[in-house]
Amino acid sequence: SRLEESVKKTVAHNPVVVYSKSWCSYSSEVKSLFKKLGVKPLVIELDELGAQGPQVQKVLERLTGQHTVPNVFIGGKQVGGCTDTVKLYHKGELESLLSKATAK
Amino acid sequence: SRLEESVKKTVAHNPVVVYSKSWCSYSSEVKSLFKKLGVKPLVIELDELGAQGPQVQKVLERLTGQHTVPNVFIGGKQVGGCTDTVKLYHKGELESLLSKATAK
Ligand SMILES: N[C@@H](CCC(=O)N[C@@H](CS)C(=O)NCC(=O)O)C(=O)O
Ligand SMILES: N[C@@H](CCC(=O)N[C@@H](CS)C(=O)NCC(=O)O)C(=O)O
Ligand code: FES
């Protein structure tokens, strides 16, 4: 669908993308982790897209199998949610993923 | 209002009460902390109350100044949200609050 193409394009053309909900603390935690690492992700607040919000969430579920927020992409690849991103950080793997993605 | 009276009665008559939203990870974190401590709180899922959900949330905001979830009460006193409850736990203060409240 056209929406699916636009989501695919968004994650391909931006080094770090976070699909979020503005009032969700797990989404905020991921956004502040990137801020702490000096990274400015493209943040898309699904609850601020009006009728398209639930539709984009369905596309994300189709593309990634994940219907929850936050949904994080780095270098065009889906990383997962908040706990996944924080785990990568604690294992020291997040920073190398970020430098590869932002170096392109 | 009648709803305010019923919320006041609920927090007065139950040792531990958690106002939650079923899909919220911060609400789940607080519920699992209590489970780990062997405590069975009264859990009220605001998103499962239908039209009353937002009304109860407004009453909680009027009574406690907090409009967010989770909203935790122990021994009739408002403790706060997830971060507040977890902080009390790490300071070793949560367990004494719980034993006082559940001993009654
Ligand atoms: N472990 C996941 C949890 C994600 C999660 O459950 N997100 C919630 C909001 S905090 C959600 O999207 N809930 C909607 C739903 O369950 O339908 C993560 O760390 O991102
Ligand atoms: N620090 C608070 C954060 C609470 C919070 O922001 N909760 C969110 C859901 S995770 C909420 O209720 N958002 C609704 C809103 O902001 O209107 C806590 O630990 O409970
Ligand atoms: S909605 Fe509460 S942590 Fe996401």
**Which two tokens mark A66?**
């994940």
pLDDT at B104: 61
How would you write the pLDDT of chain B (104 residues) with one tens digit per residue?
999 999 999 999 999 999 999 999 999 999 999 999 999 999 999 999 999 999 999 999 999 999 999 999 999 999 999 999 999 999 999 999 999 998 76
Element (H, E) at A18: strand A16-20
CB A85 within 8 A of CB A72: yes
* C-alpha separations of B81 from A28, A45, B26, B64 in Å: 15, 23, 8, 11
In this prediction, residues A38-48 reach a mean pLDDT of: 97
Q: What single-letter amino acid sits at A88?
A: L
pLDDT at A103: 79
Quick check: CB of B26 below 6 Å from ligand 3? yes
pLDDT at A95: 96
pLDDT at A17 over 70: yes
Residue linked to tokens 């009390």: B88
pLDDT at A62: 98
> In 3-state terms, what secondary structure has residue B34?
helix
**pLDDT tens per residue across span A54-83:** 999 999 999 999 999 999 999 999 999 999
Would you call B25 an interface residue with chain A, using a CB distance cutoff of 8 Å? Answer: yes
Per CB-CB distance under 8 Å, the chain A contacts of B24 are: 24-25
pLDDT at B103: 79
A62 alpha carbon – ligand 1 mean position (Å): 16
Quick check: CB of B24 below 6 Å from ligand 2? yes
Would you call A29 an interface residue with chain B, using a CB distance cutoff of 8 Å? Answer: no
pLDDT at A104: 61
* CA-nearest residue, atom 16 of ligand 2: A23
pLDDT at A40: 97
pLDDT at A15 over 90: yes
CB B72 within 8 A of CB B81: yes
* Averaged pLDDT score across all residues of chain A: 97
* CA-nearest residue, atom 2 of ligand 1: A81
Quick check: CB of B24 below 6 Å from ligand 3? yes
Residue linked to tokens 């559940």: B102
Q: What single-letter amino acid sits at A83?
A: T
pLDDT at A85 over 80: yes
Per CB-CB distance under 8 Å, the chain A contacts of B25 are: 24-26, 82
Among A23-27, A43-47, B98-102, whose mean pLDDT is lowest? Answer: B98-102
Quick check: CB of B68 below 6 Å from ligand 2? yes
β-pair partners for B44:
B19
**pLDDT tens per residue across span B36-59:** 999 999 999 999 999 999 999 999
